[in-house]
Amino acid sequence: MRWLFRIFGALLVTVAVCAIALLMLPGDRIAQVAVDQIKAQTGREVVLRGQTTVSYYPVLGVSTGAVQIANADWSEAGPMLVADSLKLGVDLMSLIGGDVRITGLEMVNPQVLLEIGRDGRANWQLGVDGVAPSGQSSGVSTALALSLDRALLTGGQVRFVDHRSGAQQHVDDLSVDLRWPQYRGAAQIALAARPQGAGRISLAGEIGNLAALIEGEATTISLDAKADGGTARYDGGLGMPLDLDGKLAVTLSDTGAFLAALGLPRIDLPPGLGRKASATADLRLTPAMDLSLRGLALTLDHNRLDGALDVALGQTVPTVNARLSAGMIDLSGATAGTDAGNAGSGTAADGGWSRTPIDASALGLFNGQIDLTASALRVAGLSFTDASLTTTVDRSRAVVVLNRLAGYSGGMSGQIVANNRNGLSVGGALRAASVEMESLLNDLAGINRFTGKADTDLEFLSAGNSVHAIMNGLSGKGSLSMARGTIKGIDLDSLMRQGLATGGTTVFDSLSASYTMENGNLYNSDLLLSLPVISASGEGRIGLGARDIDYLFTPRTASAESGGGVVIPVRIRGPWADPRIWPDMEKAIDLNLKAEKEQARQAVEEKLREELKLPTTEGQSLEDAAKEKIEEEILKGLGRLLR
Report pLDDT for 308. Answer: 96
Q: List Cβ neighbours of 602 (8 Å cut-off, separation of 6 or more).
A: none
Tens digits of residue pLDDT in 181-197: 887 889 999 999 988 88
Residue % of the chain over a pLDDT of 90: 33
Give residues with Cβ within 8 angstroms of 339, minimum separation 6: 345, 347, 381, 446
Say if CB 482 and CB 512 are below 8 A apart: yes
- Gap between the Cα atoms of 70 and 548, Å rounded: 78
Strongest mean pLDDT among 59-73, 137-151, 297-311, 593-607: 297-311
Strands (E), 425-562: 425-436, 450-463, 475-488, 505-508, 510-518, 521-530, 534-543, 548-557
Summarised one tens digit per residue, pLDDT across range 58-112 is 556 677 788 888 888 888 888 988 988 877 777 766 666 666 566 777 888 989 9
Least confident of 112-116, 316-320, 488-492, 589-593: 589-593
In single-letter form, the type of residue at position 448 comes to N
Angle at 286 between CA 281 and CA 290, to 5 degrees: 75
Tell me if 170 sits within 8 A of 157, measured CB to CB: yes
- Pure H helices in 25-154: 27-42, 92-96
Nearest 10 degrees: Cα torsion 26, 27, 33, 34: 160
pLDDT of the residue at 125:
74
SS3 content of the chain, % helix, strand, coil (to 5): 20, 50, 30
Tell me if 221 sits within 8 A of 234, measured CB to CB: yes
Q: Can you give the pTM of this predicted structure?
A: 0.66
Q: From CA 612, how far away is CA 608, in angstroms rounded?
A: 6
Q: What is the pLDDT of residues 2-34, one digit of tens each?
A: 333 333 333 333 344 444 444 445 555 656 666
Q: What is the pLDDT of residues 414-446, one digit of tens each?
A: 999 999 999 999 999 999 999 988 888 888 777
Contacts of 345 (CB under 8 A, 6+ apart): 336, 337, 339, 354, 356
Q: What is the torsion angle, in degrees rounded to the nearest 10, for the CA atoms of residue 304, residue 308, residue 312 and residue 318? A: -30
Work out the pLDDT band at 362, boundaries 50, 70, 90: confident
Q: CA 539, CA 555: separation in Å to the nearest integer? A: 12
pLDDT score of 150 more than 90: no
Cβ(256)–Cβ(247) below 8 Å:
no
CA 588, CA 112: separation in Å to the nearest integer? Answer: 91
pLDDT at 264: 75
Question: Residue 178's pLDDT is what?
Answer: 87
Measured distance CA(637)–CA(109) in Å, rounded: 112
- Interval 372-388 mean pLDDT: 88
Average pLDDT score over the chain: 78
